[in-house]
Amino acid sequence: MGSTARLALPLLSAGQAQKEIYHNEALQLLDMLAAAAVEELPLATPPANPAIGACYIVADAATGPWATKDHCLACFTGGGWRFVEPSDGLAAFVRSEGLWGAYIGGWEFGSVRAVSVVVGGQQVVGSRASAIASPAGGTTIDSEARTAIGQILSALRSHGLIDT
């Protein structure tokens, strides 16, 4: 019996006996992965009384039934725990935190990776710009302007929008 390349869903074979077992297993895995949502941030120990359908991300050095399943998506089913090893690009909503996690060589939570941020068709944030020198020189008359410009540059640097 083979499996699909990306999600490792079991494939049916011609003349295969008990096809419903393989079909149901594929449905269980799809139920875990399609619009994936986990209950909380990664855990090393499985919850004592999980609800059927509850999913979790297995933390490093997991114990009990989760031992050796680090980083996997674990879902409790009527038949016990099912695990899916994540591949780059897998995303899951973390219900307890109200944020998204993504697997990119490891789980990242609450981060947004983008080339730009566009709001209402207008780009508001793009790639980080190069450093801008702080204002210097001038006369006493421009000292208030220099202070205001310095505060603006400081805010932009603290938000990571320009280099220091």
What does the pLDDT average to over 133-146?
74
Q: Report the SS3 class of residue 13.
A: coil
pLDDT digits (tens, 9 = 90+) for 71-130: 999 999 888 999 999 999 999 999 999 999 999 999 999 998 888 888 888 887 888 778
How far apart, in whole angstroms, are the C-alpha atoms of residue 65 and residue 68?
9
pLDDT per position as a tens digit, 46-55: 999 999 999 9
Which position has the token pair 């449905």? 27
As given in the structure block, the two tokens for residue 151 are 């505060």
Residue pointed to by tokens 């004592």: 48
